[in-house]
Amino acid sequence: MADPPRAMGLASITTGAFVVLAACTALYNLWLFALRPQERAHLWLSVSALGVVGIGIGMSMTYESKDLASAQVAQLVSLAPAPLLVTGFLRFTSLFLGVRIRWIEWTSGVFTLAFVLVFIGNPNLLFSGEQLEVVVFGAPHVQAAFSPFPAFGFPAFLLMFLALIGLFTRHRDQLDGGRVLAISIVVWALAASNDVAIAMGLFQGPQLFPMGFVGFAMAFTGLLVQRFVASVDQLEASTEVLHQVVEEKSQELRDKDHELTHGSRMATVGAISAGLALEIHQPVSIVSDHLKELEAAFKDPGDAERFDHLLGESRQGIDRIRIIVSDLLRISRRDASDEGEVSLVRAVESVLPIAQSEARSRAMIKTHLQAVPPIHGSETLVSQIVLNLVVNALHSIPEGSPEENIVTVRTLFEDECVWLTVEDTGTGIPEEQIPSLFDPFSPTERADSGELGLGLAVTHQLVTRYRGRIDVESGPTGTRFIVEFPPAGSEEGS
């Protein structure tokens, strides 16, 4: 009759628990390495943890061994992962401390690999053939006694631990928590010394190597969490400072942007100021002449019809002056923060009297203004967009033949968008210059325009500010600028 299955002993269960913790450490550090591949220390700590998992599995098997054959297999399983443990932990130490220990890595790695390969290849060199009855936590199990040969190799592992303790102790002041890590290494070394002494037959007791490694892994994980918390605190403080700096710099940029926009606007007005003076001079001269005639007509009762005619023309002249000056002041004023719903048609109509003086010697200005929904923006800046495009179109046409050239301004509402087009019959823009057309100081900007190479750049900036888009089509017979705006209140324009 078969024996009933035997419950696992306390030593086997305890070792298995530490094996699970070591496996969790391996997975955790592999995950950290996957997140940040440049942190290779986590990779090698994971490799060493996998070595401990294999060693711990072999130890649990040893606690369950009831005959010499199973004990030898279990002890060989414990020995096989040693190269993973040694190589992984040495590489981790080098990367974590930032020191070069190549001679320790090479010496310990080659020795461990050779040690394992020799005895796994010929177990008779490892075991004496004697069976030991060992009791741990009240549960008996069988261990295979080691031959004298491995007794010369086991102390080498203790020397490796002593070298690592020296490294961590020497660098403990350079690391946050370095003292804790050094202490945990000492505890691990004591656990390893306990297991070596048991393997050499000096005494009987529980094997503590996995427990020592888990203690070190917990200390390192605690240090890692502490560093993470400190880095988060530092990041929050830096973020707050950065936020303040960004706010200050953003305000400076907004101020510079306002200055640039205002400067471009004044440059455009200045460029056509001579023509504006003539535009204003004509109605002023008419009013002045009519005032002289009005006095004579007023005194002659029979000349009432002529008086009303002169008075009407004078009023028209004054209204024209008022409109030109009002529009000029509105476009050139410094404060352009009055954003809201703007009539694009009204913006076009307000700038045409100002641009008319510039057009007199270059081209006729024609308009096709369909009623369109209002757009979101500043009336001052929307008017500047129109004025910049109209003046740019006029400057593309040489002076001398205004009756042969046309600048056409259109507004329309199509595809749920508000459109503005400004088309001229000028010389066109070379194809190679179109990609940089809206760059500051673009070569397509005329030097005599007074805009200092900023007119189209500022226009593009203003259109973008109001979530619009500007395109250009050009050929040998002229150029057309196409501006698209979302209607006010739409998702894009809000």
Percent residues over pLDDT 70 in the chain: 72
**Does residue 248 have a pLDDT over 60?**
yes
Looking at residue 481, its pLDDT comes to: 94
Looking at residue 65, its pLDDT comes to: 87
Query: Which residues are CB-neighbours of 464 under 8 A, at least 6 positions away?
Result: none
Q: End of a domain among 214, 237, 260?
A: 237
User: Dihedrals φ, ψ of 98, to 5°?
Assistant: 70, 35
- The pairing of strands 406-414 and 364-369 is parallel
pTM: 0.50
Q: Are residues 142 and 276 in the same domain?
A: no
Give the structural domain span for 118. 10-237
The two structure tokens encoding residue 102: 């190549």
Q: Is residue 249 part of a domain?
A: no
Q: Which of 47-56, 115-124, 404-413 has the highest mean pLDDT?
A: 404-413
- Could you read off the pLDDT of 426-438 as tens digits, one per residue? 888 888 888 888 7
Q: Is residue 227 part of a domain?
A: yes
| Range with lowest mean pLDDT among 195-199, 258-262, 287-291, 429-433 | 258-262
Q: Is residue 4 part of a domain?
A: no
Query: Within 13 Å and on the Cβ side, how many CA atoms surround 42?
Result: 17
Q: Are residues 309 and 180 in the same domain?
A: no
Looking at residue 453, its pLDDT comes to: 46
Q: Is residue 5 part of a domain?
A: no
Q: Is residue 297 part of a domain?
A: yes
Q: Are residues 298 and 370 in the same domain?
A: no
Q: Are residues 418 and 487 in the same domain?
A: yes
Measured between alpha carbons, how far is 358 from 274 in angstroms, rounded to an integer? Answer: 9
Q: Higher-confidence residue: 345 or 492?
A: 345
Q: Higher-confidence residue: 194 or 3?
A: 194
- Could you read off the pLDDT of 125-180 as tens digits, one per residue? 888 888 888 777 777 888 888 887 776 676 777 777 777 777 777 776 666 666 67
Q: Are the CB atoms for 56 and 14 separated by under 8 Å?
A: no
Q: Are the CB atoms for 110 and 156 separated by under 8 Å?
A: no
Looking at residue 411, its pLDDT comes to: 95
- Could you read off the pLDDT of 360-379 as tens digits, one per residue? 888 999 999 999 999 998 88
Looking at residue 480, its pLDDT comes to: 93
| Range with lowest mean pLDDT among 143-147, 300-304, 419-423 | 300-304
**Does residue 421 have a pLDDT over 90?**
yes
Looking at residue 213, its pLDDT comes to: 75
Looking at residue 286, its pLDDT comes to: 65
Q: Are residues 368 and 319 in the same domain?
A: no
Q: Are the CB atoms for 88 and 46 separated by under 8 Å?
A: yes
Looking at residue 7, its pLDDT comes to: 45
Looking at residue 470, its pLDDT comes to: 92
In which band, very low, low, confident or very high, does the pLDDT at 414 lie, cut at 50, 70 and 90? very high
Q: Is residue 190 part of a domain?
A: yes
Query: Which residues are CB-neighbours of 118 under 8 A, at least 6 positions away?
Result: 125
User: Dihedrals φ, ψ of 144, to 5°?
Assistant: -90, 125
Q: Are residues 199 and 277 in the same domain?
A: no
Looking at residue 170, its pLDDT comes to: 76
Q: Are residues 303 and 188 in the same domain?
A: no
Looking at residue 424, its pLDDT comes to: 93
Q: Is residue 422 part of a domain?
A: yes
- Could you read off the pLDDT of 313-331 as tens digits, one per residue? 677 667 666 666 665 555 5
Between the alpha carbon of residue 24 and those of residues 50, 216, 411, the distances in Å are: 10, 14, 69
| Range with lowest mean pLDDT among 151-160, 240-249, 393-402 | 151-160
The two structure tokens encoding residue 52: 């401990």
Q: Are residues 220 and 311 in the same domain?
A: no
CATH of residue 366: 3.30.565.10
Looking at residue 246, its pLDDT comes to: 79
Q: Are residues 227 and 286 in the same domain?
A: no
Mean pLDDT within 390-412: 89
Q: Are residues 66 and 210 in the same domain?
A: yes
Q: Which residue bears the tokens 């008419």? A: 286
- Could you read off the pLDDT of 254-279 as tens digits, one per residue? 666 665 555 555 555 555 555 555 55
Q: Which residue bears the tokens 């008075």? A: 311
Looking at residue 366, its pLDDT comes to: 93
Q: Are residues 317 and 412 in the same domain?
A: no
Measured between alpha carbons, how far is 467 from 33 in angstroms, rounded to an integer? Answer: 43
CATH of residue 134: 1.20.1070
List 127's β-bridge partners, or say none.
146
- Could you read off the pLDDT of 207-219 as tens digits, one per residue? 777 777 777 777 7
Q: Are residues 290 and 413 in the same domain?
A: no
In which band, very low, low, confident or very high, does the pLDDT at 447 lie, cut at 50, 70 and 90? very low
Q: Is residue 252 part of a domain?
A: no
Number of structural domains (the chain) is: 3
Query: Please, what is the average pLDDT of the chain?
Result: 77
